[in-house]
A and B are shown apart, each in its own frame.
Chain A
């Protein structure tokens, strides 16, 4: 099956990329929809686990090159030394390789958690971290449902490390480095709405190759980085129980109550204070007692 699959995804990758790029022009002409920023579609089925994305990413961001390889049973994680990792899993559909990195949520928990706007959702789509604003509180790490922001614990001038979808390259009109370099064509960069169409098309046209689930289409309110896969995502260590609503919505109720309390409380407190004061005033002098 290995050779078959390899040939298959080469062809598919080329067509996929062409489709996505071709439609990108058309998409730009349409009126800009909310949330239709750039994203990446990654196909587990096509990925051979060669780690080229890891090497390129490390080189581009001045991080050490990876020294370990994907291995079944070992969960490699992104950390302050690497922004993306590829892991291997033994699934019902055979061995697969899965790339992990920041999901670039449409409504990111980290961005809503950040009290200095250091975590920032760009209009282009990538979620980036801005060094000059960050105070290193790590609330983004507490909030992120994907556990993606990583912290340099062993530095007196620590940074938050995570994938930024090569934001600088996107601004120059280039694709993210991992997308450009991927020899299997497993990564496609484009407008998110086009990527969803492409992912659906693959599932529709080749239901025997793909599980009927685009991870990231709805998870956590939708993410910029999305996955096609041949087997259910629960077999590849994905959290499939994530809520479909966005994570910032969890704090909205609380934050909305703040102005209400700020208006109601002082009024009520002042009222009670006046009421109780008058009662006691008749009994004894209390005027100077508020000290």
Chain B
């Protein structure tokens, strides 16, 4: 995509000025010593050192993974949870491009950008967890298609969805580079990319849950059922939207200069709409969970420490934010929407970790706890993503109105 746009660009401008423009854009804009930078830079550097040790000495040198618990924080949080939060992109593109809800158009680009970066970084984190990453191309090329594997499906979908999201976002890149013809071409591909992207998302959001279907005897029964894929899919809708609400609130503060007055005014209306969708899908999700629980017949497990933890998740982190969302759009209370979205985000983290880490081999002799190095690497990945996000926001027409639509 980049090549195509710079090709057209070179016709619009001279080659020298293009290079000058790109070099100039690479330079940092804004202050260097912000609180975020002061915290994130050391963490990213430390994370890089730990990653180097991991490739030099092996995964065991930096993680607490064991023969019983082969997947820990890097899969359970970075990949499984991170991808759930990236679900906002397929929901918002569905609303705007398929249902034609024009109200949400102003947040499409930032949501797609967020989704794309989440996939690049969190699926990228998967490479750190692979023992033999040089063979990662095997399921993509060559004759090693393990088609009976859920992970095969998830891997392909990650890859294809990244391409779809890049296409969805590419008009913004073309506008940034001033490539008119490329923009027109890329914009024409948007609908196809959106439809393809929603289909892929449906399958791999549920697929991440389906990964754990064969671990039937290893997951605490309250979190294991044959409905994990459906639960993961439904919860990715409000997980993604809660992230859109949360991220939108921060962006409006940090990048307020980028957002037009018209869009600022519309933002509250957008939040109200999103909180309605969250409430609706969470209600469906809560009832699914109740059905799964009744169907599973695990009443006796409720009266155990993990049983209480299960109840905490269902009541404190599903039912409570659900009620808060309902109240917030009835009372038109923006603060309450934000609070509900934060509780929902925490609830999704708890749910995904319950399935993948906390409830996984709950009966093992050696319980798994992530090492401090696993946590630092996870934070480093999140911080690096925010750095790239900020770099793009400051340069490309993501939050601000695109000059192209205005001229038309």
Interchain nearest-CB distance for A265 vs B (Å): 4
A133 B135 Cβ-Cβ under 8 A: yes
A135 B67 Cβ-Cβ under 8 A: no
B115-162 CB contacts (< 8 Å) to partner A? 129-133, 135-136, 138-139, 144-146, 148-153, 155
Interchain nearest-CB distance for B187 vs A (Å): 4
B132 A157 Cβ-Cβ under 8 A: yes
B153-181 CB contacts (< 8 Å) to partner A? 153, 155, 171
C-beta contact mask, A128-155 vs B, less than 8 Å → 1, else 0? Answer: 0000111111110111010100111111
Known: A115-B146, A273-B195. A247 touches B136 (CB 8 A): no
Interchain nearest-CB distance for A25 vs B (Å): 34
B136 A135 Cβ-Cβ under 8 A: yes
User: Range of interface residues on chain B?
Assistant: 35 or more
B99 A115 Cβ-Cβ under 8 A: no
List A contacts of B71 (CB < 8 A): 138, 142
Which of A116, A151, A155, A250 is close to B70, meaning CB atoms less than 8 Å apart?
Answer: A151
B59 A141 Cβ-Cβ under 8 A: no
C-beta contact mask, A207-223 vs B, less than 8 Å → 1, else 0? Answer: 00000000000000000
The reply on A1 being an interface residue by CB < 8 A is no
Instruction: Name which of B21-29, B204-212, B246-254, B293-301 contacts chain A.
Output: B204-212
The reply on A272 being an interface residue by CB < 8 A is yes
The reply on A290 being an interface residue by CB < 8 A is yes
B203-256 CB contacts (< 8 Å) to partner A? 203, 206-207, 210-218, 226, 229
The reply on A288 being an interface residue by CB < 8 A is yes
A276 B199 Cβ-Cβ under 8 A: no
A258-291 CB contacts (< 8 Å) to partner B? 258, 261-262, 265-266, 269-270, 272-273, 276-277, 279-280, 286, 288-291
Q: How many A-B residue pairs have CB under 8 A?
A: 182
B210 A242 Cβ-Cβ under 8 A: no
A273 B191 Cβ-Cβ under 8 A: yes
Which of A134, A142, A156, A255 is close to B153, meaning CB atoms less than 8 Å apart?
Answer: A255
List B contacts of A145 (CB < 8 A): 214, 216-217
A135 B133 Cβ-Cβ under 8 A: yes
The reply on B198 being an interface residue by CB < 8 A is yes
Known: A248-B148, A280-B100. A142 touches B130 (CB 8 A): no
Which of A147, A247, A261 is close to B199, meaning CB atoms less than 8 Å apart?
Answer: A261
Known: A115-B149, A255-B150. A269 touches B199 (CB 8 A): yes
The reply on A253 being an interface residue by CB < 8 A is yes
Which of A109, A150, A154, A158 is close to B67, meaning CB atoms less than 8 Å apart?
Answer: A150
Interchain nearest-CB distance for B355 vs A (Å): 12
List A contacts of B131 (CB < 8 A): 134-138, 151-152, 158
A158 B58 Cβ-Cβ under 8 A: yes
The reply on B55 being an interface residue by CB < 8 A is yes
C-beta contact mask, B382-397 vs A, less than 8 Å → 1, else 0? Answer: 0000000000000000
The reply on B39 being an interface residue by CB < 8 A is no
* Residue ID in chain A nearest B214 by CB atoms: A143
Known: A115-B139, A141-B70. A276 touches B133 (CB 8 A): no
A113 B214 Cβ-Cβ under 8 A: yes
Interchain nearest-CB distance for B24 vs A (Å): 26
The reply on A117 being an interface residue by CB < 8 A is yes
Interchain nearest-CB distance for A101 vs B (Å): 14
A109 B214 Cβ-Cβ under 8 A: yes
The reply on A52 being an interface residue by CB < 8 A is no
- Alpha-carbon gap, A243 to B215, bound state (A): 12
List B contacts of A117 (CB < 8 A): 144-146
B59 A158 Cβ-Cβ under 8 A: yes
The reply on A179 being an interface residue by CB < 8 A is no
List A contacts of B211 (CB < 8 A): 139, 142
Interchain nearest-CB distance for A156 vs B (Å): 5
A273 B138 Cβ-Cβ under 8 A: no
- Alpha-carbon gap, A175 to B63, bound state (A): 39
- Alpha-carbon gap, A136 to B132, bound state (A): 5
List B contacts of A114 (CB < 8 A): 146, 149
Extra contacts, 17 of them, besides A139-B151, A155-B58 (Cβ < 8 A), are A111-B148, A116-B138, A135-B133, A136-B130, A147-B67, A150-B67, A152-B131, A153-B60, A156-B55, A156-B57, A250-B226, A251-B150, A251-B214, A254-B150, A255-B150, A272-B99, A289-B105
Return the 7 tightest CB-CB contacts between A and B, nearest first: A136-B131, A153-B60, A291-B187, A136-B132, A115-B152, A138-B70, A276-B100
Q: List 24 A-B contacts (CB under 8 A).
A: A80-B67, A112-B149, A114-B149, A115-B139, A135-B133, A135-B135, A138-B71, A147-B68, A150-B67, A154-B57, A156-B56, A157-B132, A253-B226, A254-B206, A254-B213, A258-B203, A262-B203, A269-B98, A272-B98, A277-B100, A286-B102, A290-B190, A291-B404, A291-B405
